[in-house]
Every structure is written in C-alpha cells, then in structure tokens.
A = this chain, B = another copy of it.
C-alpha cells in the first residue's frame, strides 16, 4: 500500500506543521475546513493515523485524554496543563532518565518509555489568581 499525496493530506500536514502545537483531530479539522470547507472529520482522523503510522508526524496519548498529533517526529517528552489540557514539549535528557533505570521490568521486552509531567500552564495560573482576587 503506497501513500498518495492528496490535497487534503497535504493541507492537514501543512496546518499541523504551521501551528507548531500539539493539536487534536478536531482542532486541526477546524483549521483545514477554513481552506477546504468540504473536508470531513473522518478524513482528518484517517490521515493523522496514516501519517503517524508512516512516521511523518507523531502521535501523543497523554493522560487518558483526546489524542493529539505532533509536527515533531523525534522522540521527546511532554508537559501538560491539567486545567486546559494544553501540551508543551519538555527539553529533557532522555539518556539520563534511562541511566537511572528501572530494575523490575517484570520480564517485559521494553520498547520505550516516556516521562509525562503534569502541572498548570502560565496562562491558567494567571487566570486562577485573578479569580482568587475576586473572592
């Protein structure tokens, strides 16, 4: 099965890269729809799946929430906001994490690992302190 570069696929890829963010399928759908109004959400889902399968984009499955897709393919870790669910990249030395290591891998054949940091993003902190003043 070889990939074809359709207009839809090209546009989805372009918008994701242009955004430099970690977008969900429907966020991306809203963006692309402005340019191709007749595109369907299913097409966005299908393409994101195919593109990440092909290693052209990354797929993020953070904290049991909606999937997000990543313009950046290289393996890296993330920090996310528990309030607004925004996701940012984490610059962390993955090597040193591996060195710290885990012993009891329970006989698993380890494929990879990832560190996920949770917190409140600057914007939500600001909103929150504003609300507290009001009280």
Contacts and interface: CB of A to CB of B under 8 A. Distances in A.
Main secondary structure of the interface of A (DSSP, over half): mixed
Given A108-B120, A110-B118, A113-B115, 20 more contacts: A61-B64, A62-B64, A64-B67, A79-B105, A79-B108, A79-B110, A89-B104, A92-B104, A96-B100, A97-B100, A97-B115, A100-B100, A105-B117, A105-B119, A106-B121, A107-B121, A107-B122, A108-B119, A111-B120, A115-B115
A114 to B, nearest CB: 6
A135 B120 CA distance: 51
The CB with the most chain B CB atoms within 10 A, among A82, A116, A117, A125, is that of A117
Identical copies of this chain, number: 2
Contacts of A34: none
Contact of A121 (B65, B88, B108): B108
Interface residues of A, number: 42
A112 interface: yes
A122 B121 CA distance: 39
A61 B103 CA distance: 23
Interface string A81-101: 110000011111100110011
